[in-house]
Amino acid sequence: MRMRLVYTIFTLPAILCNLSAAVPSAPLLDLGYRQMYNLEFNEAHKTFGTWEAQHPNDPLGHASNAAAFLFAEFDRLKILQSEFFIHDTNFRKARKLNADPQVRQAFDNEIDKALQLSDQMLAASPQSVDAMFAKILATGLRADYQALIDKHYLDSLAGAKNGRALAEKLLSIEPNYYDAYLAIGVENYLLSLKPLPLRWALQMGGAQTDRERGIANLRKTAEKGHYFGPYARLLLGVAALRAKDRTQARDILLALSREFPHNPLYAEELARLQ
């Protein structure tokens, strides 16, 4: 992967895969993520909007709706195909993207609200893991937009590091909050792919670049994550492709294509492997 992949920590929040005891079940949110992950964006916005109306003080609803806006832009601009998969040479050069200003405004509004509510919750209860998780998600989504659409990579790196640090704090309180392992896993794995001099420079700036730690954390989310299990599995599929393990990559993509039949990305990549 190229440098931009380091910033894709929270690009595709996904639906419940294997229920984590640390994350309470919320069927309406789960439905919204399933709709979003199946590219049914209008339906996802309606579902997340209903959750926001029913839970006005919950930052996760706003962060989730922001994810739907970002994912829709990624789909429209074909960012995932060019940024993730090593067969596509488009990720080797920064393409000028035409962002939708109305979507950007809606996205920013939801992120701002999510951060405001999570900070309010943390001010009242500094050990609230749910508030920390919502803040990690909102921070990571903003970092994704900055990197993959704005092409402001340094700003994005700062957000990614902040999200990872908060994830480590969350997991020190609740080690079974499996979605939070994704922030640690992605940073370590993707940065481990960089040339040694660059890894040294990143480490001096506070980044983490341990490949084995990255893979181990991705597996935790893939196996037991509530919202991010499928996304972690996608990243493990990318790792398998880089390692020339076509069998593992094929198995992962096949399972994802079956779980989310309305999302053509997995089927397209699976067809390339076959």
pLDDT single digits (tens) 11-31: 343 333 333 445 555 889 999
Q: Please tell me the distance from the alpha carbon of residue 273 to that of residue 265, in angstroms, as a whole number.
A: 13
Domain boundaries, the chain: 3-273
- Helix 246-259 to helix 264-273 angle, to the nearest 10 degrees? 150
Contact 219, 236 (CB under 8 A): yes
131 versus 9: the higher-pLDDT residue is 131
Q: Is the pLDDT of residue 4 over 50?
A: no
66-81 pLDDT, tens per residue?
999 998 998 898 877 6
What are the b/e assignments for 226-262, b being 16+ CB within 10 Å?
bbbbbbbbbbbbbbbbeeeeeeebbebbbebbebbee
**Class of domain 3-273 as given by CATH:** mainly alpha
Task: Find the angle CA(121)-CA(108)-CA(64) to the nearest 5 degrees.
Answer: 60
**With bands split at pLDDT 50, 70 and 90, how would you rate the model's confidence at 144?**
confident
pLDDT of 153 over the 80 cut: no
Element spanning 214, H or E: helix 211-224
pLDDT mean across residues, the chain: 81
- Mean pLDDT check: name the lowest of 53-57, 195-199, 255-259, 268-272: 195-199
Is the pLDDT score of 129 beyond 90? yes
Q: Distance (Å, rounded) from C-alpha 257 to C-alpha 112?
A: 33
Q: Are 226 and 16 in contact (CB under 8 A)?
A: yes
Task: Give the model's confidence band at 182: pLDDT under 50 very low, under 70 low, under 90 confident, else very high.
Answer: confident
Is the pLDDT confidence value at 10 over 60? no
**pLDDT exceeds cutoff 70 at 195:** no
More confident residue, 110 or 264: 110
pLDDT band at 200 (very low <50, low <70, confident <90, very high): low
Q: Is the pLDDT of residue 186 over 80?
A: no
pLDDT at residue 229, rounded to an integer: 85
**Mean per-residue pLDDT, 77-104:** 67
